[in-house]
Amino acid sequence: MPELRKDPVIGRWVIIAKERGRRPSDFKASSEHRDVHLCPFCEGNEDKTPPEILSYRSDPGAPNTSGWKVRAIPNKFPVLEIEGDIHRAGVGMYDMMNGIGAHEVIVESPKHVVNFIDLSGDQIELILKAYRERLKDLYKDKRFRYIIISKNYGLAAGAILSHSHSQLIAMPIVPRTVRSELKAAKQYYLNKERCVFCDMMKQELSSGERIIATNDHFVVLAPFASRFPFEMCLMPKKHSHRFHDITDEEIGSLASILIKVMSKLKSILGDPAYNIMVHTAPNELPRLGHPEYWSSLSHDYHWHFEIMPRLIEVAGFEWGTGLYINSIAPEDAALHLREGMNV
């Protein structure tokens, strides 16, 4: 079984997933794409994956057969296992627990489409609906404290298979980076009785210089302190702390603005690798012994997407300090993306 181990100095949890790679050759770098000849995600290869958890179908066929549009399946090589107890324990001065969680894949098309922005708006809406339904279902489990949905495109972004897909990992902890964001949002609200994300969005809309795109429901902007070139933040105009509260109308609007900004990214940067991460609220079910955890989330937190083009390598300085060097001002990046200007 995987394990979670806690760094005693900075409080960072690490997943030790021994089952996923045991030989030195597993870690050798390669410049080639790590795809397979027979793609297990393509329609007709349903027997090559674990049984589906959810699917949207073009016909009412039986589960795990062809005729689907979007599928959610367990990851064949999960970093966390869904069966079992967490079993928190101490090992001398160290803290650890069993690697309990859920690891799922949302397969975004029955055809071998590589970049999801080449899909139709209707198809992208189904993908977002799958995100919503899996979050709703998994957050019913009290063992799962936080769920991250992420999308990797391109080898530089960590995509193992080229077929367009997203991954969902439910964890028995709130990761350190997420916890820092949650605590900062809560402190801002305690000081000002306002949501920091709402305040940031209002200021950016007023200025306009870092705005990339807007529509009736969403804003996409280049963060003031962008860590990476052409980094983007997408957030709803209406205050909402949970992605899975999104309505069907809002999903249509979200699909539309995603297509717009990701198409511009592809056009001006030559189809770069990228990561998309969905930041949503942690599980609000009361935690034994800690009923106060995240009790003000509905007021102080605001769900959002982080969009990270993988244009540079993070080097020793960044790893050693946590301080990032960005070679393009977010105002310039926003202008390029907003106007569709080639770099």
Q: Which residues are annotated as catalytic?
A: 165
Cβ atoms of 113 and 133 within 8 Å: the answer is: no
Distance CA 4, CA 177 (A): 16
Query: What's the DSSP call for residue 287?
Result: B
Which segments within the chain are labelled E, that is strand? 3-6, 13-16, 54-57, 68-74, 89-91, 94-98, 102-107, 146-153, 165-171, 211-214, 218-221, 232-236, 274-279, 304-309
3-class SS of residue 204? helix
Distance CA 218, CA 204 (A): 13
Sign (positive or negative) of CA dihedral 57, 62, 67, 70: positive
CB 127 within 8 A of CB 89: no
Q: Which residue(s) pair with 153 in the sheet?
A: 274
Residues 6+ away with beta carbon under 8 Å from 82: 74, 100, 101, 102
- Give every CB contact of residue 55 below 8 A, 6+ residues apart in sequence: 63, 68, 69, 70, 71, 72
Opening angle at CA 64, ends 274 and 122, nearest 5: 50
CB 62 within 8 A of CB 84: no
- Please count the CA atoms within 13 angstroms of the CA of 202 that sit on its side-chain side: 8
Q: Phi and psi at residue 261, in whole multiples of 5°?
A: -75, -35
Cα–Cα dist 234/223, whole Å: 10
